[in-house]
Amino acid sequence: MRNSIEIMIEEHTYIKRLLKVIRKASLDIFNGGKVDADDFEDMIDFVRNYADKHHHGKEEKFLFVEMIDHLGPLANKLITHGMLVEHDLGRLYMSDAHDALDKVREGNEESKLDLVANVMGYAYLLNRHIDKENTVVFTFAEKQLPKVILEKVDASSHRFEEEAMEKGTQKYYIDMLERLEAKYL
């Protein structure tokens, strides 16, 4: 069975795939294309519910808590002043993107700029964020956390995954991603 960090790294691949969709959909608008509001609603939904609630949920509820509790000031600084700040900034980008999308739906042309700026800000942020987690944060956790703590994180994460699987969360969002990729990439 895969450990929780392996699962989170796999989830990062899905999130990065969505970031490519966001970039291409934004480029289409930049080049004069229309905003497909339903597709942007799906992109925002994916970010909020798969990337944030599902993926970041496991990081914030299980892994990051244990790193702060067991790895001292360096981990505390890395998590609280790095990863969690970036998670919150990502949430702000998505909130502002959703607000802009509502205005686009009402016919406000200028809000297209706000929509693209916010989804692209999110894409730039998350690409860098994911790279830091994969190469620094997760490696630090795997090397420094005691085995018993890593096993605790794995157990909690697996329960979380199983509950989400029963609800169909992973399948729903991966199917959505594949539909968006087929249209934009």
pLDDT tens digits, one per residue of 125-171: 999 999 999 999 999 999 999 999 999 999 999 999 999 999 999 99
Rg (CA), the chain: 17
Find, among 30, 31, 55, the residue nearest to 134 by Cα.
55
Sequence-ordered list of residues with C-beta below 8 angstroms from that of 50, at least 6 positions apart, any chain: 11, 14, 15, 169, 170, 173
Is the distance from CB of 28 to CB of 184 less than 8 angstroms? yes
What confidence score (pLDDT) does residue 183 get?
A: 98
Count of domains for the chain: 1
> pLDDT value at position 1?
82
Residue with tokens 């968006």: 180
Angle between helices 169-184 and 4-30 (to 10 degrees): 30
- What does the pLDDT read at residue 75? 97
Mean pLDDT to the nearest integer, 74-96: 98
Q: So what's the pLDDT on residue 91? A: 98
Token pair 């420094």 is found at 144
pLDDT the model gives residue 50: 98
Torsion of CA 125, 129, 130, 131, to 10 degrees: 110
22, 95, 113, 119 from 27: Cα distances, Å: 8, 21, 11, 11
Domain that holds residue 76: 4-184
Q: How far apart are CA 89 and CA 68, in angstroms?
A: 20
DSSP codes joined into one string, 115-136: HHHHHHHHHHHHHHHHHHIIII
Asked if residue 70 lies in contact with residue 145, where contact means CB atoms within 8 angstroms, the answer is: yes
In this prediction, residues 94-106 reach a mean pLDDT of 98
Residue 104, pLDDT above cutoff 90:
yes
* DSSP assignment letter at 34: P
Compute CA 5 distance to the chain's CA centroid, rounded to the nearest angstrom. 15
Q: What is the CATH number of the domain that holds 12?
A: 1.20.120.520
